[in-house]
């Protein structure tokens, strides 16, 4: 066995192959990479845990092996004697026999539900909640009975924020905002929205909309977009499946290598106080409009602190909020400074969470360079762009699956009717 894997690790994996639980052809590049760096003194225990798992409901066994290897590796790095063990198969089986729910383990998640006797449309996304800070060895056999105290479950219903499920282990719950949008970079700038929609519809399912941005002064030229777009899907699982399919090696759109990632989140559930905001976000400016012209148009409604002009939008900072509101009412829909109608709204302050996400994307972009002239992910993955610690009012949304998961010690749940 090659791939740079040590002899001790390779021997244990070969023994695993002999059981028929998994084959060499089943191993992903991620699994091979994990095995390459895996501690020799831990491999026997990790392989034993994998072989003792009930694999009948696991579709992606390579991903399941990776999750086990990572838990053992993290436990080793953290100085723990042993990682958390897997679920009690007997209690999981008893739970499924009692509820009749569907259950499967796939790449990165454990999926409980929906009920086999469900009739009608699934619950809306407003019925979902997000659970965080789950213990590593917490599974459906403990979580489901607790959630059932709150009502019928579709893919789980959680109403127990800060509940101490075990001594010293409190669960954190927030309303879940579904991630429905993908950011796609390196799109040929000559392609229209309809062409992009048609092309991506061939490779994805339930694509609801395509959002593209163009420079107003380029509307009569061959440039029809800025080299990136946002794909909007009916559900999170549709978006997740599309991301997985489009992210595969060799997938090309319009004969171009593309970059696919989740659109950066703007969480509508996060508390944002706009009552003190005195900064306006101005969209759809023509490229020949200068900062002085923007300052003159908005300054007639009250004293300004500053104006920040960027491509086809600007941020206008007023000294007083009442003047900002007056200018917004007067100039929203105005034709004087744009190729089309101006869009003027209050700028929403960027939360610390979004700032951290943006910095993370910038770091990822620097360490993962790719060609084709596509915009930096740290900026373009925000719907419409952002500057000065504020973003525009159009959110892109992001949140986890409506199913339990241990990868980040979280779970998401949806209530039944």
Q: What is the pLDDT of residues 175-228, one digit of tens each?
A: 566 788 999 998 998 899 999 999 999 999 999 999 887 655 554 556 778 888
Residue 328 and residue 302 in contact, taking contact as beta carbons nearer than 8 Å: no
What element of type H or E holds 343?
Answer: strand 343-346
pLDDT band at 31 (very low <50, low <70, confident <90, very high): confident
> In the chain, what's the furthest Cα-to-Cα distance?
80
d(CA 379, CA 273): 24
Please indicate, yes or no, if residue 381 is contained in any of the structural domains.
yes
**pLDDT (average), residues 126-150:** 77
Please indicate, yes or no, if residue 306 is contained in any of the structural domains.
yes
At residue 265, the pLDDT reads: 57
Please indicate, yes or no, if residue 396 is contained in any of the structural domains.
no
Whether 333 and 255 map to the same domain: the answer is no
At residue 25, the pLDDT reads: 81
**pLDDT (average), residues 316-329:** 93
Q: Is the pLDDT of residue 302 over 60?
A: yes
Whether 228 and 365 map to the same domain: the answer is yes
At residue 113, the pLDDT reads: 81
Whether 320 and 377 map to the same domain: the answer is no
Q: Is the pLDDT of residue 404 over 70?
A: no
Cα 182 to its chain centre, rounded Å, is 8
Whether 240 and 371 map to the same domain: the answer is yes
**pLDDT (average), residues 33-62:** 78
Q: Worst-scoring range by mean pLDDT, 143-157, 184-198, 303-317, 345-359?
A: 345-359
d(CA 101, CA 404): 13
**pLDDT (average), residues 115-120:** 80
Residue 302 falls in which region: left (phi positive, over 0), alpha (psi -120 to 50) or beta? left
Report the CATH number at residue 156. 3.30.70
Whether 186 and 252 map to the same domain: the answer is yes
256-267, pLDDT tens digit by residue?
A: 889 899 886 555
Residue 160 and residue 146 in contact, taking contact as beta carbons nearer than 8 Å: yes
Residue 186 and residue 154 in contact, taking contact as beta carbons nearer than 8 Å: no
Whether 363 and 407 map to the same domain: the answer is no
Please indicate, yes or no, if residue 83 is contained in any of the structural domains.
no
d(CA 401, CA 182): 15
At residue 28, the pLDDT reads: 83
Most confident of 17-31, 156-170, 399-413: 17-31
Whether 93 and 132 map to the same domain: the answer is yes
At residue 175, the pLDDT reads: 56
Which residues, including other chains, have CB under 8 Å from residue 55's CB and lie 6 or more apart?
A: 21, 61, 64
**pLDDT (average), residues 96-104:** 83
Q: How many domains does the chain have?
A: 4
Whether 189 and 261 map to the same domain: the answer is yes
Please indicate, yes or no, if residue 355 is contained in any of the structural domains.
yes
d(CA 288, CA 68): 57
Q: Which two tokens stand for residue 393?
A: 């009012």
At residue 194, the pLDDT reads: 93
Please indicate, yes or no, if residue 171 is contained in any of the structural domains.
yes
* Edge-to-edge strand list for the sheet holding 386-387: 348-349, 390-391, 386-387
At residue 298, the pLDDT reads: 94
pLDDT band at 3 (very low <50, low <70, confident <90, very high): low
**pLDDT (average), residues 90-114:** 76
User: Which residue, among 129, 180, 179, has the nearest Cα to 158 in the 3D structure?
Assistant: 129
Full residue range of the structural domain in which residue 313 is found: 279-346
Whether 265 and 385 map to the same domain: the answer is yes
At residue 86, the pLDDT reads: 62
**Summary mean pLDDT of the chain:** 73
At residue 81, the pLDDT reads: 45
Please indicate, yes or no, if residue 84 is contained in any of the structural domains.
no
Whether 201 and 304 map to the same domain: the answer is no
Whether 381 and 257 map to the same domain: the answer is yes
pLDDT band at 23 (very low <50, low <70, confident <90, very high): confident
Report the CATH number at residue 239. 3.30.70.330
At residue 323, the pLDDT reads: 94
Most confident of 87-96, 155-164, 189-198, 338-347: 189-198
**pLDDT (average), residues 328-333:** 88
Q: Worst-scoring range by mean pLDDT, 12-16, 211-215, 369-373?
A: 369-373
In the chain, % of residues over pLDDT 90: 18
At residue 393, the pLDDT reads: 36
d(CA 328, CA 342): 10
Please indicate, yes or no, if residue 288 is contained in any of the structural domains.
yes
């Amino acid at each position: 066995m090659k791939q740079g894997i040590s002899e001790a690790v390779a021997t244990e994996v070969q023994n695993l192959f002999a059981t028929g639980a998994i084959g060499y052809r089943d191993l992903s590049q991620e699994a091979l990479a994990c095995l390459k760096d895996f501690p020799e003194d831990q491999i026997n225990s990790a392989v034993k845990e994998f072989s003792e798992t009930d694999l009948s409901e696991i579709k992606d066994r390579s991903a399941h092996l990776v999750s086990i290897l990572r838990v053992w590796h993290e436990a080793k790095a953290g100085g723990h004697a042993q990682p958390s063990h897997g679920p009690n198969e007997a209690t999981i089986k008893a739970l499924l026999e009692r509820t009749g729910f569907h259950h499967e383990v796939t790449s990165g998640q454990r999926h409980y539900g929906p009920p086999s006797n469900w009739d009608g449309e699934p619950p809306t996304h407003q019925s979902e909640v997000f659970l965080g800070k789950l213990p590593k060895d917490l599974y459906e056999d403990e979580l489901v009975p607790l959630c059932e105290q709150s009502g019928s479950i579709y893919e789980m219903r959680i109403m127990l924020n800060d509940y101490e499920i075990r001594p010293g282990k409190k669960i954190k719950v927030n309303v879940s905002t579904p991630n429905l949008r993908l950011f796609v970079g390196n799109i040929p700038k000559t392609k229209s929205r309809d062409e992009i929609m048609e092309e991506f519809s061939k490779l994805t399912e339930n694509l609801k909309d395509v959002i593209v941005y163009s420079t107003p002064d380029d509307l009569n030229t061959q440039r029809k977009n800025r080299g990136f777009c946002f794909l909007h899907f009916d559900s999170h699982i549709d978006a997740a499946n599309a991301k997985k399919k489009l992210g595969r090696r060799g997938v090309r759109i319009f004969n171009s290598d593309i970059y696919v990632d989740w659109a950066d989140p703007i969480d509508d559930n996060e508390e944002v106080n706009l009552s003190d905001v005195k900064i306006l976000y101005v969209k759809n400016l023509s490229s020949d409009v200068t900062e002085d012209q923007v300052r003159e148009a908005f300054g007639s409604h009250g004293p300004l602190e500053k104006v920040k002009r960027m491509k086809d939008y600007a941020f206008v900072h007023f000294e007083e909020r009442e003047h900002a509101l007056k200018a917004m009412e007067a100039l929203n829909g105005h034709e004087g400074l744009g190729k089309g109608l101006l869009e003027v709204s209050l700028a929403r302050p960027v939360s610390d969470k979004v700032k951290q996400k943006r910095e993370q994307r910038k770091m990822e972009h620097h360490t993962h360079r790719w060609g084709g002239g596509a915009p930096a992910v740290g900026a373009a993955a925000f719907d419409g762009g952002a500057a000065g610690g504020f973003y525009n009012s159009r959110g892109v949304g992001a949140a986890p699956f409506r199913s339990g998961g241990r990868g980040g010690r979280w779970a998401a749940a949806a209530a039944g009717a």
